[in-house]
Structure 1
Amino acid sequence: MPAIKTGKKTEKYTTEFKVKAVEWSHQAHRSVKSVAEALDIHPMMLSRWRKEHREGKFAMKRVKRAPEDAKKKITEQDEINRLKRQIAELQEENDILKKFQRFQAEERQKRSDSSGNTNKSTA
């Protein structure tokens, strides 16, 4: 009976590629998900590689060079994350300033209402 072909293409990754991906995923400012997206692999695959690396299945020297396109993607992703954090911080500051401005306007309104005509004429 012939083997069933699903039409899926299975990628074969080198040990160097796997080790470098694992090293990147262990860096403090990077998540498994962001590294997996940059390398165009599934996060579960990277998690499996991390486990295999812990178990010593990748017995080789550390690799110093990574594919240029992967480095570029990760650098871009880091920049995007930094900018998103900065946008969130600026939006929070802007909201605080708006609240303070409303507070000041209300205080001015209260002062002007209370300092208005206190002499009530009775007729």
Structure 2
Amino acid sequence: MPAIITGKKTQRYSTEFKVKAVEWSHQAHRSVQGVAEALDIHPFMLSRWRKEYREGKFAMKRVKKAPAEAKEKVREQDEVTRLKRRIAELEEENDVLKKFQRFQAEERRKRSGSSGNTGNDTA
């Protein structure tokens, strides 16, 4: 009678793979859930790797320059987004002011035309 084999085979991931996954998940436009789904791993596993990475448990050298560059890039993107939003607000204000200016000019024309001057002055 064959022996019953129980238990799951666990997948072993290299430290390099874990570090790349963690770095990928730290990108501003990515979520842990999305990265885990793309790599076909459980999100909890990726979260655990992120924690281990923060604690320095991976024996790979971390480049300290990359996070600073990433933060600067995120700051720049936020600034660009803020400026685009401000430009849109100013353009809308400008449009409103132009409409108001046209309205005032039209009102002045109506008032000057209805002031009693018919143009039939006989001098």
Same fold (TM over 0.5): yes
Higher relative contact order (CA 8 A, sep 6+): 1
Instruction: Find 1:92's aligned residue among 70, 83, 88.
Output: 88
Please name the residue that 1:44 is paired with.
Answer: none
Q: Any stretches of 5+ residues in structure 2 without a counterpart?
A: 1-14, 57-61
In structure 1, give the amino acid aligned to 2:87: Q
Q: Kindly tell me: are residues 111 and 49 of structure 1, through their superposed partners in 2, closer, same or farther at Cα, counting changes over 3 Å?
A: closer
Deviates more, 1:86-95 or 1:111-120: 111-120
- Runs of 4 or more off by more than 2 Å in structure 1? 47-50, 52-56, 59-62
Question: Which among 12, 16, 19 is matched to residue 17 of structure 1?
Answer: 19
The partner residue of 2:39 within 51, 58, 72 is 51
**One-letter code aligned to 1:23:** S
In structure 1, what is the equivalent of residue 112 of structure 2?
A: 116
Give the length in aligned residue pairs.
Answer: 94
Displacement of 1:91 in angstroms is 0.4
Structure 1 unaligned segments of length 5 or more: list them. Answer: 1-12, 33-46
CA RMSD of aligned residues (A): 3.3
Question: Does the CA-based 8 Å contact 1:22-1:49 persist in structure 2?
Answer: no
Matched-pair identity in %? 7
Shift of residue 15, structure 1, vs aligned partner: 3.4
Cα distance per residue 1:50-105 (max 9 Å; x no partner):
4144497xx96731155212101210111011001111111011101110110111
- Residue 26 of structure 2 aligns to a residue whose secondary structure is helix
Q: Deviations over 1:16-43 (max 9, x none)?
A: 4223224314xxxx225xxxxxxxxxxx
Query: For 2:118, what is the secondary structure of its paired residue?
Result: coil
Distance 1:52 1:121 in 2: 85
- TM (normalized to structure 1)? 0.58
